Amino acid sequence: MTHATATLDQMRPPVPAEPGLPIYNNKLGMWVFLASEVMFFTGLIGAYVILRFGAPGEWAKPNVVLNVPLTGINTFILICSSVSMVKAFAAISAGDRKGLSRWLLATILLGATFVSVQGVEYWKLVHEGFTPAGFTAGSHITELVAQGKLSDVTGGLYGSTFFTMTGFHGFHVTCGVICLIYVWLKSLRGGYTQQDYRGVEVIGLYWHFVDLVWIILFTIVYLI
Amino acid sequence: MSSLAAAAPRAPTHHDDRTFVQKYIFSTDHKIIGIQFLFLSLLFLFLGGVLAMQIRWQLGFPGQPMPGGGILPETMAPGGVILPEYYIQLVTMHGTFMVFFAIMPLLVGVFANFLIPLKIGAHDMAFPRINMASFWTAFLAGAVMFASFFVPNGAARAGWTMYAPLSARPDLSGADYGQICWCISIVLLGLSSILGSLNYITTIINLRAPGMTWFRMPLSVWCLFVTAILGLLALPVLSGAAIMLLFDQTLGTHFFDPGAGGQVLLWQHLFWFFGHPEVYILILPGMGMVSDIIANGSRKPIFGYHSMVFAIVGIGFLGWIVWGHHMFMSGMNPTLGSTFMVTTMIIAVPSAIKVFNWMGTMWRGNLHFHVPMLNAVGFVAMFVIGGLSGVFMAATPIDMHIHDTYFIVAHLHYVLFGGSLFALFAGITYWFPKMFGKMMNEPIGKIHFWLTMLFFNLVFFPMHILGMAGHMRRIYDPTQYEWLKGYQPMNHFITLAAFALFATQFLFIWNFVWSLFKGRKAEQNPWRDNGLEWTLPNPAPHGNWEKVPTVYRGPYEYSLPGAPDDWYPQSSKLPNDREPAPAPAPAH
Amino acid sequence: MSWWLPLKASTFAGEIDGLFTAVLIITGIAFVVVEFGLVWFSLKYRSRPGRAAYYTHGNTKAEIIWTAIPAVTVVALGLISNHYWKQMKGRDSVPADSYPIGVHAKQFEWQYTYPGPDGKLGTTDDYTIRNQLHVPVNRNVVVILTSEDVIHSFFVPVFRVKQDAVPGLTIRAWFNATVPGEYELGCAELCGMGHYKMRTRVTVHTQVDFDAWVKTQAQGGSE
Amino acid sequence: MATTAHKAPNYILIWAYLFGLTVLEVLFAFEMPISRNLKILVLLGLAVWKALLVALFFMHLKFESRYLRLMVLVPLPLAAIFILAVITEHVW
């Protein structure tokens, strides 16, 4: 289904201006913001890669400390939320306002589920003794070390990098969910029409970016 | 006032129903936000100066009670005598305030906000509300940093570069809350700077007036564009690093803790990966303003516009691959040192091109030495010295001797004070009429320039000599060392010259404040400049133009052969000028 | 107080001062050209009634010249510097026969561990002294830098040698002292409150004095 | 929408790809048939593939102007430069 022509076309670059990029300001602004977010995660993930490459001891194997199956499902939930986001976008671009609101609600619920699963996993890990400051003595995790399945030389680094990266990703997902709720409420009030659904597209770009970062994080933190 | 200005479109007369608060406190007008940044940053510039005077007092008169030092708390300066802990706070906070809260906001916060929409012919920034949020985040960051003086145990004390593990371990540095305040403030400033850069980039790309093609943009806008890109991509890395440092201090993480596998050099790499684009953020806007002002003062087109643009963009790219020259002696891999040495040598070339182009602009010009032009030529003269002393440090064997000595302090002050600050004096004087509708006083401006130039050199040139002698940086009391005792008279002399330099700045403060209220009413185009902003009345009204002007030529058409005046505004149409192509119709 | 670089007391000093002078001459020429150019243009082309500016947008030939000359100069400087850099700090630049001294930096003092009569570090006859560096003249000495807490920097101006001591790393820096005498060493990297007083007395002995000193130290005659 | 009208990509197909690739990744991470370095390369390849799917189809980069695609790629070399340079610290 092609996008219907629009009369008062809000979704084009501003009229009385020299042609810059052929996209409207909000979208260009979001892409520029996402470039700065890429640099922010470069700082964090870069530090993780460098610390791990130069780590004095042997890094923890996948699925020893972190529960990979649960996180795999969590990744799948975030991918579904990306799909529902894009379905919402397709709905409004075809003029279906009710579809937009329904898909947005689905995205919010999936996103919130992802964050809560992440929160529960944090709570469980901390209780097992795996904290940002490393392995707390006399906990389940030190037994793992005792059984030789894990070296605690790199425990401090493992905790620091894991919690900082996934923590800040969770923070970005939470901000995304809050913005989605705002967009959803506005869509309920009929804020978006087929002619002007910029807000949906911009928050969609942010949401897909957060999903993209998680795809990379899931692989390099949980699987490698 | 020649006939040309009469053709300028009139300012909008629509009724302005915003309340005082909306208009001046929480304003979304890019000009008001620029002026808010101006007042805030001039305050922090003064604070940075006061900190510098205390540093100079301790170096000029080691251990003697500082006049007025009585107000300082006993833990910091008992009886006015500065203690080492306080001295290192002074050094740290002088660097932090000057770099992050004075020069950067003055150049980017004030002039990007104020000039970009005016010079490219836009009603306002692309996202006015985000622009306002950028100012108030910077205000909050400044407040947190200023508050860090008054937290228990005092402000952060690991140098403005905050090298770990000194910055990460309160037991080693003696400051716990101060370091936390520093990190939080820097993260907030990073956010503010990203929001700002986001705005400038979108505005420059999408909101240029019809006819304002990329190569008709003034060089100041080109510089602000590349600065915004550097800021957009560099500040997040600093925010990430500051967050890691904050977690090391509070949550007990081990990013920079060598005991638990953390890497100390990681902080330096992260900091300087941000740091070098940062120092180009601090100089590029100055270069842009100086290019505009020298072209105006010489009544002559800028020499080699395209090569200047390529030099600016070149600095934008090369700025990312040279950060290792701050770390030649830090235990970094020597082969990496060689790579960074070569890239650092190459990055000297764009700056050289710019200096020769400025000189080319003045060559066979018709030089009007108004105060901005004086300061701009002063910028070029002093920036050259800073740039050349940089070559000494790029040569790694020489850097082995002069790294972390006063040679480095001399270099950075020649480019930051001699460079950015002289460009700021020029910029503020030049666009003062557009901001406030009044002219700054000319004689006071000239006296201020010549005295500042004199005392600036008396303070910072001898530091090269101290650096060659091996006088280390951030030394509380140099007389501890035999070989530095001999240089104490020079430190003494530098301190006296620094006091004179500080006193001279009151001339500028007096000129600025007095002209705000009693300055001569500015005419429509006081400097007879071609920029779009001078087609507006002074001070420029909200929303700038009612109808965005159309641009027919570049910004530097001075002394056009056969033109009635020696200047030709970008927006006035010559008979044989073509209308710009209309924006493409919606394709679908 | 001297207006030039300090005493040349190591093999590095000659090369570094030579390079310093070369760069000073090159930058001096550029400095004179630019500053006098600015002054001359300011005087010659200042605005006088009836004066008109020459309308030009630039000159590509001039651009090429003043791009090429700085580029060639800096690249040449880069290659020369790299040659010395490899010798002084390169990966395998430390001469094999160097006399090892363990330098341990901690907050606000230096601990020097000497190999003792057997000349090897890590043997039982090593001895450690605080804030005193004794080196034989005309012999390669390698300083094995470690740090206990924060980053310090081993800097002897007269030897023109500087190397940060980074906690968690062991970094080796070598030099060859050529002029016997008493000098000083200071910490060049901000390391906290007492950064200014991390002073070490550096004594360069003739070979004979050095052997005698080592013998006296070995008998426990510690300072 | 933007300049060129484009047929909306088949989102369900993309979703299936992403789901399949995720499962493949998880399985692959625990079977150990090959050397560690090759496993890391393959896993990174799968991650990049999924990331490209999201970027090109969900974020519509495939249908955007090439200047925007160029602009989006700008931060990646910077990230690569930083990581590669600092990693050489350990290849002393």
Spell out the domain ranges in chain A. 25-223
Tens of pLDDT, residues C95-145: 999 999 999 999 899 999 998 888 888 888 888 899 999 999 999 999 999
Is the Cβ–Cβ distance between B468 and B407 less than 8 Å? yes
Q: Looking at residue D10, what is its pLDDT?
A: 82
Mean pLDDT, 10 residues at a time, chain A of 224 residues = 45 80 92 96 95 88 87 94 94 91 95 96 92 86 84 88 95 96 94 90 95 95 90
Cβ proximity of B221 and B119 under 8 Å: yes
Q: Which of residues 21-60 of C touch B (CB under 8 A)?
A: 23-24, 26-27, 30-31, 34-35, 37-38, 41-42, 45-47, 51-60
> β-strand C200-205 against C132-136: which pairing, if any?
parallel
Structure tokens at B482: 């035999």
Question: Shortest CB distance from B273 goes to which of D1, D5, D82?
Answer: D82
How far is the C-alpha of B316 from the C-alpha of B311, rounded, in Å?
9
**Res A168: pLDDT:** 96
Q: What fold is seen in the domain C99-218? A: Immunoglobulin-like (2.60.40)
pLDDT, one tens digit per residue, over C16-58 is 999 999 999 999 999 999 999 999 999 999 989 888 889 998 8
- Amino acid identity of residue C1, one-letter, is M
Q: Report which of B85, B386, B559, B399 is spatially closest to residue C161, judged by C-alpha positions.
A: B399
What are the residues whose beta carbons fall under 8 Å from the beta carbon of B458, sequence distance 6 or more?
A: B493, B494, B497, B500, B501
Give the 3-state secondary structure of B233-251. Answer: HHHHHHHHHHHHHHHHHHC
CA distance B244 to B238: 10
Which amino acid is residue B44, in one-letter code?
Answer: F
Radius of gyration of chain A from its Cα atoms, rounded to whole angstroms: 21
DSSP for A44-71 reads: HHHHHHHHHHT-SSPPPPTTTSS-HHHH
Starting at the earlier edge strand, list the strands of the sheet with C99-106: C127-130, C109-114, C99-106, C140-147, C171-176
Distances (CA, A) of D78 to B234, B332, D83: 10, 20, 9
**Residues in contact with B455: Cβ distance below 8 Å, sequence separation at least 6, in sequence order:** B497, B498, B500, B501, B504
Give every CB contact of residue C13 below 8 A, 6+ residues apart in sequence. C5, C7, C158, C159, C160, C178
Which residue type, as a one-letter code, is found at position B438? K
Q: To 10 degrees, what angle do helices B422-436 and B30-60 make?
A: 150
Q: Please, which residues have CB within 8 angstroms of residue B101's CB and are 6 or more apart in sequence?
A: B41, B44, B48, B138, B141, B142, B145, B189
Instruction: Kindly give the pairing relationship between strand C161-165 and strand C152-156.
Output: antiparallel
For residue C127, give the 3-state DSSP assignment.
strand
In this structure, what DSSP letter does residue C141 have? E
Query: Is residue D79 included in any domain, yes or no?
Result: yes
Q: Does residue B409 lie within any of the structural domains?
A: yes
Q: Do A224 and D18 lie within an 8 Å CB cutoff?
A: no
Nearest-CA distance from D79 to chain B in Å?
10
Beta bridge partners of C109: C106
CB–CB contact D88 B233 (8 Å): no
Predicted pLDDT of residue D6: 62
What CA–CA distance (Å, rounded) separates A163 from A48?
11
Give the Cα-Cα-Cα angle B105, B108, B110 (nearest 5 degrees). 70
- What DSSP designation does B327 have? -
Cβ–Cβ below 8 Å for B301 and C27: no
Q: Which of A82, A84, A169, A206 to mutate to test the interface with D (most CBs of D within 10 A)?
A: A82
Rg of chain C, C-alpha, whole Å: 25
Give Cβ neighbours of residue A209 (< 8 Å, ≥ 6 apart).
Answer: A34, A37, D59
Instruction: Report A:159-218 residues touching D (Cβ under 8 A).
Output: 204-205, 208-209, 211-212, 215-216, 218
Determine the Cα–Cα distance for residues B39 and B418; give it in Å rounded to an integer: 21
Nearest to A141 by CA among A129, A152, A151, A133: A129
CB-based contacts of B56, cutoff 8 Å, min separation 6:
B494, B495, B498, B499
CA distances to A86, A122, A151, B228 from A142, rounded to whole Å, are: 44, 17, 9, 48
Domain contains D76: yes
Cis peptide before D33 (omega within 30 of 0): no
Locate tokens 């009469």: which residue? Answer: B6
> Which residues have CB under 8 Å from B212's CB, separation 6+?
A18, B120, B121, B532, B551, B570
DSSP label of C173: E
Evaluate whether C11-89 and C99-218 have a shared fold: no
Q: Using an 8 Å Cβ cutoff, are B422 and B373 in contact? A: no
* Position C218 pLDDT exceeds 80: no
d(CA A180, CA B281): 35
User: What pLDDT score was predicted for residue B16?
Assistant: 67
Which numeric CATH code is attached to C11-89?
A: 1.10.287.90
Q: D75 at the A interface (CB within 8 A)?
A: yes
Least Cα distance to B511 among B42, B49, B105, B47 occurs for B42
Contacts (Cβ under 8 Å, ≥6 apart) of B192:
B133, B134, B135, B137, B138, B141
B221 neighbors B117 (Cβ within 8 angstroms): no
User: Domain range spanning residue B391?
Assistant: 37-535
Taking 70 as the pLDDT cut, the residues of chain B under it are 1-16, 583-588
Q: D79, A42: Cβ pair inside 8 Å? A: yes
Chain D residues within 8 A of A90 when measuring between CB atoms: 8, 11
d(CA B466, CA B468): 6
What would the pLDDT profile of B343-378 be if each residue is shown by its tens digit? 999 999 999 999 999 999 999 999 999 999 999 999
Residue D27 lies in a domain: yes
Q: Is A53 touching D (CB cutoff 8 A)? A: yes
Backbone angles phi, psi at C50, to 5 degrees: 85, 0
Q: C164, B331 in Cβ contact below 8 A? A: yes
- In chain B, the number of structural domains is 1
- For chain D, how big is the Rg over CA atoms in Å? 17
**Closest by alpha carbon to A167, among A41, A37, A33, A32?**
A41
Task: Compute φ and ψ for B204, nearest 5 degrees.
Answer: -70, -40
- Inter-chain CB proximity B333 and D92 less than 8 Å: yes
The whole domain housing D29 covers 11-90
Q: Is the dihedral of CA B333, B335, B339, B344 positive or negative?
A: positive
Establish if C185 touches chain B: CB-CB under 8 angstroms. Answer: no
d(CA A40, CA B259): 26
Q: Which residues have CB under 8 Å from B409's CB, separation 6+?
A: B460, B463, B467, B473
> B406, B365, B413, B358: which is closest to B386 by C-alpha?
B413
Nearest to B210 among A18, A42, A153 (CB): A18
How many CA atoms lie less than 13 Å away from C211 in the CB half-sphere?
4
Q: B269 and chain D: CB distance < 8 Å anywhere?
A: yes
- With CA atoms as reference, the chain D residue closest to B237 would be D79
Query: In A, residues 177-216, which contact B (CB 8 Å cutoff)?
Result: none
Alpha-carbon distance of C217 to C205, in angstroms, equals 14
B88 within domain boundaries: yes
- CA nearest to C153, candidates B328, B174, B90, B588: B328
Adjacent-strand bridge partners of B261:
none
The token pair that represents A50 in the structure block: 């460098």
Say whether the peptide bond before residue B165 is cis (omega within 30 degrees of 0).
Answer: yes
Tell me if chain A has a CB within 8 Å of the CB of D34: no
Task: Please check whether residue B401 is in contact with residue C160, taking contact to mean a CB–CB distance below 8 angstroms.
Answer: yes
The token duo for A79 is 């991918």
Is D5 contained in some domain?
A: no
Query: C140-147 and C99-106 as β-strands: parallel, antiparallel, unpaired?
Result: parallel
Domain count, chain D: 1
Nearest-by-Cβ selection for A18 from B236, B248, B580: B580
Domain ranges of chain C: 11-89, 99-218
What is the spatial distance between Cα B147 and Cα B178, in angstroms, rounded to a whole number?
Answer: 9
Structure tokens at B369: 């030495």
Stretch (H or E) spanning A135: strand A134-135
3-state secondary structure of D41: helix
Question: How many CB atoms lie under 10 A from the CB of residue B29?
Answer: 25
Whole-angstrom distance, CA of residue B351 vs CA of residue B308: 9
Looking at the domain covering A25-223, what would its CATH class be? mainly alpha
Structural tokens at position B185: 């403030």
Which residue in A26, A32, A133 is closest to B252 by CB distance?
A: A133
3-state secondary structure at position B357: helix
